[in-house]
Structure 1
């Protein structure tokens, strides 16, 4: 099952807006008191409404983060217990997040946290984690090895122009990661993990 924290993220977004609006109004009132040279001017801390909104926002953000962490713990434990060797792409998520269309999805997937969990759990259970170069994993045909070049992200299926094999983009990339991992290890029994 895929991870979905949309409920908590939606709530956090609602409270973020409330917090921003309330804090802005409070700042205006504090500024008003200062400009009118009120004898006992109010401070930001004297208003509790924006502070309540801040707490609610933080609560929902924490719930989403906890749900994500719990999901990743369950997934990584399952993978490490099921496989002796796991091959993953050595992704640089900072570079991937430069694409504003993907940034949210990549951040939500928590690839870095996922990898860290895999690393220490593989160490705990005496399993092997192999990080392979992600270069061309979605471009190369996993059957004949032909590199058909870059493809826009909206293309999820493609046919190799050399051997006419029809590919699902993600499955093809996973098989290529497996091949690269096998070459590194010179063994068998690998698990495929793609982003």
Structure 2
């Protein structure tokens, strides 16, 4: 029994042959070139060290700091990211939370679908909380393993996240002046998303368990005082990230300059307590 005849008017098209990338004469006899391997998917499409490969894309990691286990003056990168970078777990899940909350708002109260929507929103918030707690545990453990004395700012987070007081308008009864409440609400959300309170709590009990010394320092004026000459001026803080002393022209990252001042203040409190 033969094969069925092909219908008239239909033609089978042969698959197109892939053209090879041109290679230089020097690498003609040395096997597949780098361009050929990249096109075939065996080499990453990005520059730099590859962290892991995923189907359809490559992820590269560039680190600006490294862990310091010998007490040298290098800012460590305890979270595997660039030193000082905020992971912002809530902001990363903001789109999924917004979608789940909109879906919840459409459900009828008391219905089974509403209970499922409530469970989805709660699961997303629970994941954010676990991510924040996991990052705090890892960062605190790295600090406790690497250092014997740790100084930190004695932050009043409840006071930092208070809503601004209303400003009554003196010219119009019952009216109020703008008090930047919307901007303050966004700042409060970012502060709470960073999880400073839970991190300091975990750091305190881990330091006590490991026999490390934890010192809380008053943060007043630590970001406006020069770590080199000790000159204090409001103009020293040029921007949020830039510090330039108006007396000795010392330039540094504002957070690094403040960290040096906090460390010196903590060691001074330690020496005063030992005396």
Q: Which residue of 1 aligns with 2:207?
A: 122
Q: What is the alpha-carbon distance in structure 2 between the residues aligned to residue 153 and residue 145 of structure 1?
A: 17
Q: Which residue of 2 aligns with 1:191?
A: none
Rate the CA distance shift 1:153–1:57 in 2: closer, same or farther, 3 A. Answer: farther
The alpha carbon displacement at 1:20 in A equals: 2.3
Determine if contact 1:13/1:57 at 8 Å carries over to the other structure.
Answer: no
Which SS does the other structure have where 1:167 is aligned?
Answer: strand
Query: Matches of residues 51-62 of structure 1 in structure 2 within 5 Å?
Result: 51-62=115-126
Q: What is the alpha-carbon distance in structure 2 between the residues aligned to residue 176 and residue 102 of structure 1?
A: 25
Gaps of 5+ in 1: 27-43, 188-195
Gaps of 5+ in 2: 1-80, 163-183
Q: Which residue of 2 aligns with 1:69?
A: 133
What whole-Å deviation, never above 9, does each CA across 1:36-66 have from its counterpart, x for those lacking one? xxxxxxxx32x22222211110001101110
Which SS does the other structure have where 1:186 is aligned?
Answer: helix
* Higher helix proportion: 1
Q: Which residue of 2 aligns with 1:174?
A: 259
TM-score, normalising length from structure 1?
Answer: 0.78
Rate the CA distance shift 1:80–1:12 in 2: closer, same or farther, 3 A. Answer: same
Q: What is the alpha-carbon distance in structure 1 between the residues aligned to residue 237 and residue 101 of structure 2?
A: 34
The alpha carbon displacement at 1:153 in A equals: 8.9
* Larger-Rg structure: 2
Paired residue total: 166
**More contact order relative to length (CA 8 Å, sep ≥ 6):** 1
Determine if contact 1:132/1:180 at 8 Å carries over to the other structure.
Answer: yes
